[in-house]
Amino acid sequence: MKKKTNLNKGETLSPLNFMTEDKDYRFIDSAHDSTHVSIEILKGDFAGIKYYYKELSIIEEDDVAILRYDFVIINGNELYESVEELRNDEDFKILMNKILHNILTEKYAQH
């Protein structure tokens, strides 16, 4: 049975929990695809997993902007060797959402 310990004690999986670059994740050059910058997760059960976002778009539905994206998983780790298992893991999707939120928030704050 896989552990689900990506969080610090008392922390919940919520999109409002912030991620920190170089603490929770880092940007890496991608040998897999030179047109994308990849991300490596640095801590928790997903540590060591590398992926990148692709095809980001903003869709407007009922006056609400929704960010949609696809992603490519480059490799799993000891707990999650199967890319398909990761693609379907809700905790992994939440973690990717948190990282993307941080990336976009940081870029917005710089401008």
**pLDDT tens sequence across 40-52:** 999 999 999 999 9
Which one-letter DSSP state was computed for residue 86? H
CA angle 66, 71, 77 (to 5 degrees): 130
Confidence (pTM): 0.78
CA distance 101 to 27: 15
Confidence class of residue 34 from pLDDT cuts 50, 70 and 90? confident
With DSSP H G I counted as helix, E B as strand and the rest as coil, what are the percentages for the chain, rounded to 5? 25, 30, 45
Would you say residue 74 has pLDDT above 70? yes
Asked if the model's pLDDT at residue 9 lies above 60, the reply is: no
- The rounded distance, in Å, linking the Cα atoms of 69 and 71 is 7
Using CA atoms, how far residue 86 sits from 76, 92, 107, in Å, is 8, 7, 27
Q: Which amino acid is at 106?
A: E
